[in-house]
Structure formats: structure tokens, C-alpha cells
């Protein structure tokens, strides 16, 4: 009697056993007529601060974790120098923002570097009133917070319910204002990059630049 090779045996068995196909739920579709926030797009480098449940602290660039020894324009060094302030002021989670200023991209005429948080839904600029983010079923309001003193917020240029016609006019108007009057993030700097349009319900952001908006990063059209 012929002995079945063990490799062939497992091949036959794997064909006989049907593995259930994972069910993938279709995501809910957000309503278009919801809040839209337009902020100035700052030309720096995207970074993140991660604070874990157990107090774990990490700094990252857009694509990797970084350290003061293997850094991204000095962001990790800055983050670890402000570690306690960031843990206390930001709390648990991933906190994304732009690291910009002296020695990075456009420089903006600054003699220092700044970290500007992206999440304008949660964070408010120091001195601004704290907006209500949500209201629970029992009527308890959840409001924005002020970030730690070492952090900035990307400047809000417009906030309102999304409307295609209105939004097109606002986008053109805001780009023109930036081109004529300069950066809001760094007053006096006359070559700002553009804007970011964030749709809160869809949790999606789009960017539009003042110059070369029809070209991808690197300048080559596909």
C-alpha cells in the first residue's frame, strides 16, 4: 500500500476545510451638510505625541517612531524635554500636529520651532471661549480644552456647516486673504502655503495650496 506524503496530505486537508470568510461591514455614510473647519496649512513636518494607558510616552514623525538620537528636526528632543507637561496637558491618546519654524521648510521667519496641534474640535486657542463638543443623554456637556502652554493650535480661518457653493467661495476668499495679507500662524510672513478643509462628520481632510495646487508633492503630474 502506497504511503501518502505528509505534505500532500495537508494540501488535501486544506482544500477540504473551508475557512469562513471574514464579514466586512460597509461603513456608515456621513451627511455632507455638517460642520466644516478650515485651518491654515502650515509648511513644516507632521509629528505625533503618543501617551498610553500605562503612561507610555512616544514621539513620532508621520511615518515612524523617533528618538532624540534618531530625530526629525529636533521634535523628539523637544517632546521628551516637555514630557511631563505633555502627559498632563494632552492626556492619553495620539496627538498629531505640525512641527514648524526655524530650520524647517519655509521657516516662517521664526527663531524657534513650534508644535501646532491639528485637532481643533478638541483643543481651543488660549483665551478663546470653550465650545461645546457634545451633550450626553443626561444633559452633561463636553467642552473643548486648552492645550498645554508648550503647544499651539493650527489657526482656524472658517467654521460652519458645509455647503458646496458657500464653501467654494470661502476657499477662494481665504486663499486670496492668505496670499495678500500673509500667514495667520506667523503674522508678517508673506508666503503661507494654503489651507486644510476638515469635514467633522466624515473625519476627512483635504488640502488646497495657494500655488501649484494642481501638482502633487514633488511637482510631477501623474
End-to-end CA distance of the chain: 63
**Banded model confidence at residue 16, pLDDT cuts 50, 70, 90:** low
**Banded model confidence at residue 156, pLDDT cuts 50, 70, 90:** very high
Higher pLDDT, 202 or 9: 202
Mean pLDDT, residues 158-173 taken together = 86
Whole-angstrom Cα distance, residue 107 to residue 96?
20
What pLDDT score does 222 carry? 43
Domain annotation for the chain: domains and CATH numbers? 29-209 (3.30.470)
SS3 194: strand
Global pTM? 0.84
**Banded model confidence at residue 152, pLDDT cuts 50, 70, 90:** very high
| 166-178 pLDDT per residue, tens | 778 889 999 999 9
Whole-angstrom Cα distance, residue 85 to residue 147?
10
Neighbours of 152 (CB within 10 A): 19
DSSP 179: H
Mean pLDDT, residues 101-130 taken together = 96
DSSP 202: T
What pLDDT score does 221 carry? 42
What pLDDT score does 164 carry? 82
Q: What share of the chain is helix, strand, coil (3-state, %, to 5)?
A: 20, 30, 50
Strands 204-209 and 152-153: unpaired
SS3 101: strand
> Is the pLDDT reported for residue 10 higher than 70?
no
Amino acid at each position: 500500500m502506497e504511503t501518502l506524503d505528509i505534505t500532500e496530505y495537508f494540501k488535501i486537508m486544506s482544500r477540504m476545510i473551508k475557512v469562513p470568510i471574514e464579514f466586512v461591514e460597509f461603513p456608515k455614510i456621513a451627511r455632507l451638510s455638517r460642520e466644516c473647519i478650515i485651518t491654515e496649512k502650515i509648511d513644516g513636518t507632521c509629528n505625533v505625541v503618543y501617551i498610553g494607558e500605562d503612561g507610555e510616552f512616544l514621539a513620532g514623525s508621520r511615518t515612524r517612531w523617533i528618538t532624540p538620537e534618531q530625530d526629525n528636526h529636533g521634535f523628539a528632543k523637544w517632546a521628551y524635554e516637555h514630557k511631563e507637561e505633555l502627559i498632563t496637558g494632552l492626556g492619553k491618546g495620539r496627538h498629531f500636529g505640525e512641527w514648524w519654524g526655524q530650520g524647517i521648510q519655509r521657516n516662517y521667519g521664526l527663531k524657534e520651532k513650534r508644535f501646532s496641534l491639528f485637532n481643533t474640535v478638541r483643543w481651543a486657542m488660549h483665551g478663546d471661549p470653550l465650545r461645546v463638543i457634545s451633550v450626553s443623554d443626561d444633559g452633561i456637556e463636553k467642552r473643548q480644552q486648552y492645550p498645554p502652554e508648550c503647544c499651539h493650535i493650527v489657526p482656524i480661518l472658517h467654521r460652519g456647516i458645509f455647503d458646496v457653493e458657500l464653501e467654494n467661495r470661502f476657499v477662494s476668499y481665504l486663499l486670496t486673504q492668505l496670499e495678500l495679507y500673509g500667514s495667520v500662524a506667523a503674522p508678517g510672513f508673506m508666503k503661507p502655503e494654503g489651507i486644510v478643509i476638515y469635514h467633522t462628520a466624515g473625519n476627512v481632510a483635504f488640502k488646497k495650496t495657494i500655488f501649484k495646487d494642481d501638482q502633487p508633492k514633488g511637482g510631477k503630474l501623474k
